[in-house]
Amino acid sequence: MAFSLSKLKIRDHILLMILPALFAMLLFVGLFSYGYWRVAATMRFVKNAQFRVAHTEAVLEHATEMRSSVRDSLLIGHAPPVNAYHLSANALGHDLDALRAIESSNPAQMAAVENIASQITMWQQQCAALILAAGQGNRYAGMVAGERDEEQQFLKIRDSLLRLLEQNQTEAESGIGDAQRVMRRVLDLSVLTLLFFGGLALLLARLVNRAIGRPVQQMIEASERVSHGHFQSPLPLEASNEFGALAGSFLRMTQALRHEGQELSALKRFSEAVTQCTSENEVYDHLLHSLQEQFRPTQVVIFKLRPEEDLLEAVATLGPLPEALRDWPVMEGKHSCKAVRMGRAFRVNDITQEPLCPGKFALPKEGSYYCGPLIAGGIIIGAVRLEGLRDFWTPERESLLESYLSGAASALSNLRLLQTMREQANVDALTGLYNRRFCEDYARKLMAMARRKDAPLGFIMMDLDHFKSFNDIYGHEVGDRILRQFAKTVTQTMRETNLTARIGGEEFVVLLPDTGPKACEMVAERIRKAVPHMTVPSGTDKPLPQITVSLGVAIYPDHGSSLEDVMQSADRALYDSKRAGRNRTTVYVEEAETAG
């Protein structure tokens, strides 16, 4: 298997850096120990050699002193004091014993020492003792014989001691030289070892630095790119070491960030889309599409809360509802939905194991579902249910879904607020009826429809009789009461398809689609007859006089081809009713017909 430095773990890189130093240290210790041992052994050898030299010199010195005593005896002709001779002999004996002890481990040297000892003993017995013991009578003969034998034997002893001394000195010098060579060899090996392992350490340091530094640099560069939003940046390849684990973790983090970024981008697109919607159905369509794209649910049901009817109506679904619910897709009782009742999300991760919502509106038979309320401004306006796989709903997915529901709820609330503002802009604040601007816009739309259908469109102009006198006598507050009650009376006497608007102070108009002159006149008469029966408090003990209304009727397109013409015709008819005595209905008749 091929070896790759980059695949090693960090602890292996550290070991790789430490091992050369460790090996070098061990080798240095070994070399030092070896050198120390060799030098110590050599120095012991040298010391022993020096001891041998010293004791050999001492033996030679004492032997020389003993011979001097013997020579003195020959010269003076009688035996000298024995103290000097015996003292030298005793010291020589001690030195010989020391040499024997030192040379006990060296048989060759031991034999040389014993040979010298035997020669000295022989010299003592055969020469020295006889000369010292010679009497006065035979002095000359003893001197001649003793001197000759003694000199020969002593020369042998001295030669043997000199050879031993020379040999010991040579060994001492050789030992010192060996010690010096060992130290030089150890020093050379130490220098070579230092150079080798130093070079190896530098090489490994460079390789390890490259093996560690390159992934770290790649991670830094990848982090910089990710911080700028580039999630597709190349990353270090995963390996079996810590850098591989770090690269894998960084890759998973990058994927999570990329996924989160995609989710945020999708949520942003959804928020931008729903803020541009002009109807609630458009918001529902965007919500269905976004939830399907983001969560892949099996079903989505969007409920609209109708508080006045105490029900939740399914206004949009991802898939078709069961046949039995299609005609009337509602959940009766808004509090039967837990999400609406609690004002927070309700989830079931396993339908077969967990309790379900009491509102059993088309619940799935398996998997999971999540029902979240649509809340805008603290007011619940609906709910959304998503169905999916079992155990699908994690806290992260719930949080993301809540963001979508919050965006949709805000958009729906804004649309409803906008609709309310439009209605308020088109509605008369006093009577609750539509105002003149809305009436004219709506009338033009009805006229266009009437042209396409070739059907009539009726206009009834109304004006309360003597209304100014009511304001002057009873005050504007009573006048406002009269106007509000009149508006209520008119709306109660007509169909919902008809529109009533206040176009002036006490002037009103009614639009009647698909209604001809006769039918319009009947409606006008019904209004006229209902007005005198209105009950309006006067605020005093005296009741108000009877209130009446005058009406004028005109038909499009019979009495005008434009809105202005028809309105003018109805106004002329109203003027005719006023001129004829008030409290009456007049259908517009063209002047040519009246003249005829």
Using one digit for the tens of pLDDT, what is the confidence trace for 50-61? 777 787 788 788
pLDDT digits (tens, 9 = 90+) for 290-300: 999 999 999 99
Cβ neighbours of residue 572 closer than 8 Å, sequence gap 6 or more: 552, 588
Check whether 220 has a pLDDT greater than 60.
Answer: yes
Check whether 478 has a pLDDT greater than 70.
Answer: yes
Q: Among 158-162, 263-267, 289-293, where is mean pLDDT lowest?
A: 158-162
Q: Among 212-226, 302-316, 361-375, 473-487, where is mean pLDDT lowest?
A: 212-226
Q: Cα–Cα distance between 480 and 506 in angstroms, integer? A: 10
DSSP states of 241-253:
SHHHHHHHHHHHH
Give mean pLDDT, residues 355-381.
89
Question: What is this structure's pTM?
Answer: 0.52
Helix, strand or coil, per DSSP, at residue 189? helix
Q: Please report which residue ranges of 434-516 form alpha helices under DSSP H.
A: 436-453, 467-474, 476-492
Q: How many CB atoms lie within 10 A of CB 352?
A: 9
Check whether 124 has a pLDDT greater than 80.
Answer: no
Contact 551, 584 (CB under 8 A): yes
Name which of 522, 524, 511 is nearest 458 in CA terms.
511
Check whether 473 has a pLDDT greater than 90.
Answer: no
What local confidence, expressed as pLDDT, does residue 316 receive? 92
Instruction: Report which listed range, 44-48, 507-511, 543-547, is most confident.
Output: 507-511
What local confidence, expressed as pLDDT, does residue 579 receive? 94
What local confidence, expressed as pLDDT, does residue 241 receive? 63
What local confidence, expressed as pLDDT, does residue 40 receive? 75
DSSP state of 553: E
DSSP state of 334: G
Check whether 566 has a pLDDT greater than 60.
Answer: yes
Residue scoring higher pLDDT (128 or 199): 199
Longest dimension (CA), the chain: 221
In which region does residue 391 sit, left (phi positive, over 0), alpha (psi from -120 to 50) or beta (all else)?
Answer: left
What local confidence, expressed as pLDDT, does residue 368 receive? 93
In which region does residue 556 sit, left (phi positive, over 0), alpha (psi from -120 to 50) or beta (all else)?
Answer: beta
Q: Cα–Cα distance between 128 and 8 in angstroms, integer? A: 88
At residue 322, what are phi and psi to the nearest 5 degrees?
-55, 150
Q: Among 282-286, 406-410, 419-423, 583-587, where is mean pLDDT lowest?
A: 419-423
Q: In Å, how far are 53, 62, 63 from 90, measured between CA atoms? A: 19, 9, 11
Q: Cα–Cα distance between 274 and 148 in angstroms, integer? A: 144
Q: In Å, how far are 557, 566, 569 from 591, measured between CA atoms? A: 16, 14, 11
What local confidence, expressed as pLDDT, does residue 11 receive? 62
Percent of the chain with pLDDT over 70: 81
Contact 387, 297 (CB under 8 A): yes
Give mean pLDDT, residues 82-93.
77
With bands split at pLDDT 50, 70 and 90, how would you rate the model's confidence at 132?
low
What local confidence, expressed as pLDDT, does residue 138 receive? 44
With bands split at pLDDT 50, 70 and 90, how would you rate the model's confidence at 151?
confident
Give mean pLDDT, residues 106-132.
76
Give mean pLDDT, residues 276-294.
91
Q: In Å, how far are 83, 100, 129 from 89, measured between CA atoms? A: 10, 16, 12
Work out the mean pLDDT of the chain and round it to a whole number: 81
Residues 252-290 as b or e (16 or more Cβ within 10 Å = b): eebeeeeeeeeeeeebeebbebbeebeebeebbbbbbeb
Q: Cα–Cα distance between 302 and 312 in angstroms, integer? A: 9
Q: Cα–Cα distance between 316 and 280 in angstroms, integer? A: 10
Give me 194's structure tokens.
Answer: 């230092």
Name which of 458, 461, 446, 455 is nearest 555 in CA terms.
458
Check whether 20 has a pLDDT greater than 80.
Answer: no
Give mean pLDDT, residues 152-174.
78
Q: Cα–Cα distance between 391 and 366 in angstroms, integer? A: 11
Q: Strand 499-502 and strand 379-388: pairing?
A: unpaired
What local confidence, expressed as pLDDT, does residue 287 receive? 92
Q: Which residues pair with 387 in a beta bridge?
A: 299, 369
Contact 4, 163 (CB under 8 A): no
What local confidence, expressed as pLDDT, does residue 140 receive? 42
Check whether 163 has a pLDDT greater than 50.
Answer: yes
Check whether 176 has a pLDDT greater than 90.
Answer: no
Contact 567, 595 (CB under 8 A): no
What local confidence, expressed as pLDDT, does residue 66 receive? 78
With bands split at pLDDT 50, 70 and 90, how would you rate the model's confidence at 562?
very high
Q: Which residues pair with 314 in a beta bridge?
A: 303
Cβ neighbours of residue 290 closer than 8 Å, sequence gap 6 or more: 266, 270, 404
pLDDT digits (tens, 9 = 90+) for 188-199: 877 787 787 777
CA 185 to centroid of chain Cα atoms: 61
What local confidence, expressed as pLDDT, does residue 141 receive? 45
Q: Among 101-110, 219-228, 273-282, where is mean pLDDT lowest?
A: 219-228
Q: Cα–Cα distance between 305 and 109 in angstroms, integer? A: 124
Q: In Å, how far are 450, 459, 530, 557 from 564, measured between CA atoms? A: 16, 12, 29, 12
Q: Cα–Cα distance between 22 and 8 in angstroms, integer? A: 19
Residues 333-349 as b or e (16 or more Cβ within 10 Å = b): ebebbbbbbeeebbbbb
Percent of the chain with pLDDT over 90: 31
Q: Among 19-28, 284-293, 448-457, where is mean pLDDT lowest?
A: 19-28
With bands split at pLDDT 50, 70 and 90, how would you rate the model's confidence at 1?
very low
